[in-house]
Amino acid sequence: MGFSRTNITQLAGNRLQIYNRQELANDWWTARTRKINADGYYTKSMNTTDKAIAETNAVVWYNNLLVRIDQGYVPVSKTVNQICDLYLKQMKKEVARGDRSQRNHDDYEIVVDKFIREYFGKKQIDRIPTKDVENFIIWRQDYYLTGKGAAQKTVT
């Protein structure tokens, strides 16, 4: 990578590490564990400079990863913005192959950027409760009546 790990501490039978990153001034601890059946590591900041707290939080994080994997879930959730990026990237490939028109892509991109990203944006995709989806539907219906879009003279 481009950084140096210091103060490496092995946990969970050497399947989990916590460490400091030399280039970071805040001395926060980071946890990492090797991905199962894939190259690389899952990493997560422990958001603390206290080693004992970092160790406890790292083990909890690691155990939660194992449970998610065991239950068939994606180990590390993506944000709605990340999912939107993947979706639009896939649509561009479909346009390049001739499977989708550029106009179709452009129409969907507007909807994704104006509504999905604006409302859900940074939320983790797997942590959106039903109530948020119900509220989105209401927000979307009101967008051009009383919401942000009400000030627009014309809608394209």
What is the average pLDDT across 134-145?
A: 88
Task: Let me know the angle formed at the C-alpha of 134 by 67 and 77, rounded to the nearest 5 degrees.
Answer: 25
Taking residues 90-106, report their average pLDDT: 95
Q: Return the pLDDT at 99.
A: 95
How high does pLDDT run on average in the chain?
88
| Alpha-carbon distances, residue 128 vs 7, 32, 109, 138, 147 (angstroms) | 37, 26, 21, 16, 22
CA-based max dimension of the chain: 63
Question: With bands split at pLDDT 50, 70 and 90, how would you rate the model's confidence at 156?
Answer: low
| Euclidean distance between CA atoms 35 and 65, whole angstroms | 10
Contact between 77 and 124 (Cβ < 8 Å): yes
pLDDT for res 80: 93
| 126 or 149, higher pLDDT | 126
Mean pLDDT of 51-55: 96
Question: Where residue 155 falls among pLDDT bands split at 50, 70, 90?
Answer: low
